[in-house]
A and B are shown apart, each in its own frame.
Chain A
Amino acid sequence: MAKKDFELTWQEIPVGNIVLEPGNAAEYRTGDWRSQRPVVDRSKCVKCGICFSFCPEPCIVKDEEGYYEAELYYCKGCGICAYECPKGAITMVQEEH
């Protein structure tokens, strides 16, 4: 895997700042933009997948039991999942710094 952007020296910047590795946006951590993270109350969750559909990142994935969880490497903490959840099963919790 190529170096992360914050590891590159100026001598290592490709000519024209082009990105030579296709699809490497997947490595870009947007999770560190987050101030709140979604927490799912499984006793209320009906596995409808509305959070999955609305997540703009999209970072919500289905686990083996059919529940939906946000991948925190990417989750920006926007809270759309919590707003859209028809059962009120998702709560946004302040991240501790």
Chain B
Amino acid sequence: MARRVGAEGSFAVADAVRLADVDVVAAYPITPQTHVVERLSEMVAEGELNANYMYVESEHSAISACLGAAAVGARTFTSTAGQGLELMHEVLYLVSSMRLPVVMAVSDRALSGPLNVWGDHSDVMAVRDVGWIQYFVENAQEAHDLTLCAFRIAEDPHVLFPVMVHMDGFHVSHVVEPYFVFERDELGDFLPAPQYPYPLDPNRPVTMGAFGPPAVYAECRKAQDVAINRAYGKIVEVWEEFGRRFGRTYRPLETYKTEDAETVLVAIGSFNQMAAVAVDRVREKGRKVGLVRLRLWRPFPLQALREAVQNAREVIVFERAMTYGGSAGPLCTEVKSALYGLNTMPRVLNFIGGLGGRDMSVRHYEAMFDRAREIVDKGIELQYETIGVRG
């Protein structure tokens, strides 16, 4: 049976990768992801995991090596954070357009400058459009479960997309928490051996990564966009099957006390656990507030979000990233786009905070609900507001 252990979110990811029995790990250590690959390197050295661990010289090489390994049909994993994810950037598009089921855990980190190794979602938003399936975990248990699910989703013949599992740098990656780690036999046939349909094979030659001139590029892009949207159903299906088998069900978004809520907070990442406490406290004061914890980021759960907030008067979007010079933060822009055109469109308010590892406490969320009320009552015109910033 599953063992309950106390360990970091990073170890929960490494344990899942071990259970997935990956063939290749190619990674370069970077804070706050280092413990993931350090632990995997140890597992390979100790014989707990029979994989080829490639010690590469950069993240660009790490993801390139993963691309090659996945192209021959190997089950492949990598992990990075912040600047490392940026160094991978150009190759990320190739992995998704070639439909290679690489799984990557990202310990989300601020981007420089100023140089900062702590958590926020700058790196996530910078890779929004690379064509990977992307979702968030909020704690070590979710990191363990959803890293396992990532392999199953990525390799599904109806999906065949790389998957990025996002966990907040330090707040998930380094916090020691109790979680249940699976025993291999307990998984049964949940994760069958990878069967990439067109692996590089001298006996069945194919060309991968060929160029796409103007005559065909647009058709390739359209096909990719349709395919990732179609993957949505399979992602939900895999998470539901996981729930039936193992008792923990995950959804594209989780709602908390939204049924009668007049004000709904929409946010992503581990801070949502504090936001939920704030929802309880604000409700004690008699205000009807709720929380939408967005888990799936790409493909975006458009319909589910609309359903969750359609009866709200205001939607507050809290996020840990900026779009410099933009109309709102990247998450808010997405939420507004999703809600635009609804018959009764809620007012959308945007708060940005928790940047570069700045803590958010429950009282910050309570203050956000108060400030939202003030903005609406006084009719203040506002695109977005930074919170917890001195001055």
**A contact residues vs B (CB 8 Å cutoff):** 5-6, 8-20, 22
A11 to B218, CA, bound (A): 12
A13 to B225, CA, bound (A): 12
Q: Residue B114 at the A interface, CB < 8 A?
A: no
Among B118-126, B202-210, B287-295, B323-331, the stretch that binds chain A is B202-210
A5 to B216, CA, bound (A): 6
Cβ B207 vs Cβ A6 within 8 A: no
Contact with A along B262-297 (1 / 0, CB 8 A): 000000000000000000000000000000000000
Cβ B210 vs Cβ A10 within 8 A: no
Q: Which residues of A contact B208 (CB under 8 A)?
A: 16, 18-19
Q: Which residues of A contact B215 (CB under 8 A)?
A: 5-6
- In B183-223, the 8 Å CB interface with A consists of 197-198, 205-208, 210, 212-213, 215-216, 218-220, 222-223
Cβ A22 vs Cβ B97 within 8 A: no
Residue in chain A with minimal CB distance to B212: A17
How many of B's residues come within 8 Å of A, CB to CB?
23
Partner of B226, one of A6, A10, A20: A10
Q: Residue B98 at the A interface, CB < 8 A?
A: yes
Nearest Cβ on chain B to A39's Cβ, whole angstroms? 28
Interface contacts beyond A13-B223, A18-B98: sample of 13 additional A-B pairs, CB < 8 Å, sorted by A: A6-B215, A8-B219, A12-B219, A13-B219, A14-B198, A16-B98, A16-B100, A16-B208, A17-B98, A17-B210, A18-B206, A22-B205, A22-B207
Partner of B216, one of A8, A15, A18, A20: A8
| A-B contact list, 14 entries, CB within 8 Å | A6-B215, A6-B216, A10-B222, A10-B223, A13-B219, A15-B99, A15-B160, A15-B197, A16-B97, A16-B98, A17-B210, A17-B212, A17-B220, A17-B223
Nearest Cβ on chain A to B93's Cβ, whole angstroms? 12
Q: Which residues of A contact B198 (CB under 8 A)?
A: 14-16, 18, 20
Instruction: Knowing A18-B208, A19-B210 are in contact, say whether A13-B216 is a contact too (CB < 8 A).
Output: yes
Cβ A19 vs Cβ B207 within 8 A: yes
Q: Which residues of B contact A8 (CB under 8 A)?
A: 216, 219
**B contact residues vs A (CB 8 Å cutoff):** 97-100, 160, 197-198, 205-208, 210, 212-213, 215-216, 218-220, 222-223, 226-227
A13 to B100, CA, bound (A): 16
A14 to B227, CA, bound (A): 12
- 7 smallest beta-carbon distances between A and B, as pairs: A16-B99, A19-B207, A6-B215, A10-B222, A5-B216, A10-B219, A13-B223
A18 to B208, CA, bound (A): 5
Cβ B207 vs Cβ A16 within 8 A: no
Cβ B206 vs Cβ A9 within 8 A: no
Q: Which residues of B contact A5 (CB under 8 A)?
A: 212-213, 215-216
Instruction: Knowing A10-B222, A10-B223, A22-B205 are in contact, say whether A16-B212 is a contact too (CB < 8 A).
Output: no
A5 to B218, CA, bound (A): 11
Cβ B207 vs Cβ A18 within 8 A: yes
Nearest Cβ on chain A to B98's Cβ, whole angstroms? 5
Nearest Cβ on chain A to B102's Cβ, whole angstroms? 12
Nearest Cβ on chain B to A9's Cβ, whole angstroms? 7
Residue in chain A with minimal CB distance to B208: A18
